[in-house]
Amino acid sequence: MEKQDQVSNNSRGSGGQPATVDHEKLNQFLGRFVADLGATLHAPTVIIGDKLGLYRAMAGAGELTSSEIASRTGTSERYVREWLASQAASGYVMYNHLSKKYWLSPEQAFTLADEASPAFLPGAFYIAASVFKDEPHILEAFKTGKGLGWHEHDSDLFTGTEKFFRPGYAGNLVSSWLPALDGVVPKLERGGTVADVGCGHGSSTIIMAKAYPSSRFVGYDIHGPSIETARMEAERQGLGDRVRFEVAAASSYPGEGFDLVTVFDALHDMGDPVGAASHVLHSLKPEGTWMLVEPYANERLEENLNPVGRIFYSASTAICTGASLSQEVGLALGAQAGDSRLREVVTRGGFTRFRRAAQTPFNRVFEARA
């Protein structure tokens, strides 16, 4: 009883009165904290496993000792042994307590060791790492209300964004998203022109270019270093004759007469998404299509209070909102803007037709027409 009284006297309700703490609910919350802290501390170990090729060394190799994995990767056995224990405790590798060996299940290998997999996961942890590194700048933005530009973030954000989003694009863009748009695929098969706005490292642009060899593609992004990376990747894949990348903003990129304009997971980062929508409209052919891909969200806040919403609201707090506020207008849509809010932005830009054409657990795909 004494312990209960102490908790009550030190906890205040909304009216400043002592609040009684429910110990069962307290323990449930502490359990959530333990899980969250473990996940937070585990995140850098995933990046280490990716960078050092530890997951790749284990994939398809059967049971291995820590010494065997260290030998395969040129790393220290003692560190690898501790890393393996952390992975096993997190459920990211399997452990045989009889043989004292470790292995990756097919599912773990598919998501942790295969960069071509549509479910490759490590990129998400690079994004999380960038948030920790940028915390002082984010803290200052909270105090001043000023923006934090995309270019001001740690480079792990750019690497992580490409690694995280590329698998989803590879698994869905050609197979389901583009076919969900009215008449777009036949145009690309015959030979169309496409602008990929906010292209980052160019993964989405390159995926489309490889799928439709008769079409020509140009990727635009305001981040110069990302454009340089995209150019190098296009050359490496032998696409330099049909794909080019340019530094340009969404509201002023050059060119017109495009059959298709795409914006992948970037509209909510823009300071003036209405201005961007207007420019997209004027850059399209009269019967052209704008494909807009945004993070999955429901219409109301209470409908987004779930694990996916948790990811996107957290990322929006640290990255997306500040990116928009750092630009002109600074509308700051946020990563969880609902369909009606996006419709408002797109139609204010001059489009008259707007519909959700496809979706995944992480994305909504919209089609906009003049």
Q: Does the structure show a pLDDT above 50 at 284? A: yes
Q: Which residues make up the CATH 3.40.50.150 domain(s) of the chain?
A: 122-369
Confidence category of residue 315, pLDDT binned at 50, 70, 90: very high
Q: In CATH, what class is 122-369?
A: alpha beta
* R_g (Cα) of the chain, nearest Å: 23
The residue-averaged pLDDT of 229-245 equals 96
Cβ atoms of residues 211 and 177 within 8 Å? no
Cβ atoms of residues 162 and 200 within 8 Å? yes
pLDDT digit string, tens, across residues 64-102: 999 999 999 999 999 999 999 999 999 999 999 999 999
Which residues share a beta bridge with 293?
264, 365
Q: Does the structure show a pLDDT above 90 at 19? A: no
Does 240 or 88 have the greater pLDDT score?
A: 88
How far apart are the C-alpha atoms of 169 and 338, rounded to whole Å?
21
Q: Does the structure show a pLDDT above 70 at 345? A: yes
Cβ atoms of residues 59 and 66 within 8 Å? no
Q: Which residues make up the CATH 1.10.10.10 domain(s) of the chain?
A: 23-112
The residue-averaged pLDDT of 298-308 equals 97
How far apart are the C-alpha atoms of 221 and 314, rounded to whole Å?
24
Confidence category of residue 3, pLDDT binned at 50, 70, 90: very low
261: how many CB neighbours lie within 10 A of its CB? 25
Listed in sequence order, the residues at least 6 apart from 113 whose beta carbon sits closer than 8 Å to its beta carbon are 55, 56, 58, 59, 104
Question: What is the model's pLDDT at position 254?
Answer: 97
Q: Does the structure show a pLDDT above 50 at 4? A: no
Cβ atoms of residues 278 and 351 within 8 Å? no
The residue-averaged pLDDT of 309-325 equals 97
Cβ atoms of residues 227 and 233 within 8 Å? no
Q: For 55-80, give the secondary structure using H, E and C.
A: HHHHCCCCCECHHHHHHHHCCCHHHH
265: how many CB neighbours lie within 10 A of its CB? 22
Question: What is the model's pLDDT at position 9?
Answer: 45
Angstrom CA distances, 233 to 164, 229, 348, stand at: 17, 6, 36
Q: In CATH, what class is 23-112?
A: mainly alpha
Listed in sequence order, the residues at least 6 apart from 173 whose beta carbon sits closer than 8 Å to its beta carbon are 204, 207, 208
